[in-house]
Structure 1
């Protein structure tokens, strides 16, 4: 299996308002998010790629337009956890690139959430 990954960055705020009021994430706060999309294929296309990295610029445009310097509670439905964000972005990517295998989202340098069906 061939695998490629590409990393993207954006900054946003959110509130996990379903948590108890004394939980730090129940307060308004923000992160410098890192998103890694992974695509996989058993064979390379005619150009020798899993997918041309240039095509993944569409994800950067999507993140810049809808997520960067936004309040995530206004952008996606349901909890705005890293896990939920990974699933949302995976589904967005998979609709465009069937080779999408996983999406990882980091809120801090030491924490990652991944959605891999």
Structure 2
């Protein structure tokens, strides 16, 4: 199996208000997010790619236009957790690129959430 990945960045605020009031994530706060999309294929296309990285620009445009410098509670359905964002970005990518195999989202340099069906 061939696998490629590409990383995207954005900054946004969110609040997990369903958590107890004394939980730090219940307060309004923000992160510098990293989103990594992975695509996989058993064989390469005629150009020798899983998919040309340039074809992933629509994801950058989507992130920049919908998520960057936004309040994620106003953008996402359900809690604005990294897990839910990974799932959201995976579904968005899979609808456009059948090779999409996983998405990872980082809120901090030490934390990652991944959705991989």
Establish whether TM, by shorter chain, passes 0.5: yes
Query: Corresponding residue for 1:72?
Result: 72
Within a 5 Å distance, the mapping from 1:6-45 to structure 2 comes to 6-45=6-45
Aligned residues: 117
Runs of 4+ residues deviating >2 angstroms: none
1:83 positional shift: 0.2
1:46 positional shift: 1.1
Structure 1: 5+ residue stretches without partners? none
* Residue deviations 1:2-56 (CA, integer Å, cap 9, x gap): 0000000000000001100110000000000000000000000111100000000
Structure 2: 5+ residue stretches without partners? none
Compute the TM-score of the two structures, normalised by the length of structure 2: 0.99
Within a 5 Å distance, the mapping from 1:1-117 to structure 2 comes to 1-117=1-117
